[in-house]
Homo-oligomer: A and B are copies of this chain.
Amino acid sequence: MGTATRSDWAERARATLSDAGYRRGGARAAVIDALAGQDCAITALELEDLLRRSDAGVGRASIYRALEQLEQLGLLQRIEVSRGTAGYERVESDGEHHHHAICRECGRLIPFEDSSLERAIEQVAGRISFDVSEHDVVLRGLCERCD
């Protein structure tokens, strides 16, 4: 109970965009649907590939524009997945989220969750004079395959 589903996110994204005054369009709809099916961060170029294979294909610029809009509305979180490349993943309405371990050898992303880490971050956020709206933790090293 109370568990957010992927379709919930897509629904919320459409509603939020609508409330923000955005119209409907095929490209952005395709981007939203694709993001709804991801389990972890995906880059703009990976998204472009994915959309070219399955659906009709979406212009690269439209993908970047959609990602930026969704990020600004708090529906996506942007993280750096490799030198100079950004990945995006859904922000769930219930605040549930994970962080990433990134393998410096193969670039693989391993997601993990940790409640005491979250607690520690909340406490830090409370004691510094800075209005924290989001946070991100990255562990770097070698994954079990590359070790």
- Residues of A at under 8 Å CB distance from B? 78, 80, 83-84, 86, 101, 103-104, 110, 112, 114, 116-117, 119-121, 123-125, 128-144, 147
CB < 8 Å neighbour of A140 from B112, B120, B136: B136
CB<8 Å pairs between A and B, sample of 5: A83-B86, A132-B141, A135-B138, A135-B139, A136-B138
Please state if A134 and B140 are interface contacts (CB–CB under 8 Å): yes
Please state if A124 and B114 are interface contacts (CB–CB under 8 Å): yes
CA distance A124 to B100 in the complex (A): 11
Looking at the assembled complex, report how far the CB atom of A40 sits from the nearest CB atom of chain B, in whole angstroms: 15
CA distance A117 to B133 in the complex (A): 18
CA distance A84 to B110 in the complex (A): 22
Please state if A112 and B134 are interface contacts (CB–CB under 8 Å): no
Please state if A147 and B120 are interface contacts (CB–CB under 8 Å): no
Please state if B130 and A134 are interface contacts (CB–CB under 8 Å): no
User: Closest residue of chain B to A121, judged by CB?
Assistant: B117
Looking at the assembled complex, report how far the CB atom of A103 sits from the nearest CB atom of chain B, in whole angstroms: 8
**Chain B positions within 8 Å of A78 at CB level:** 83
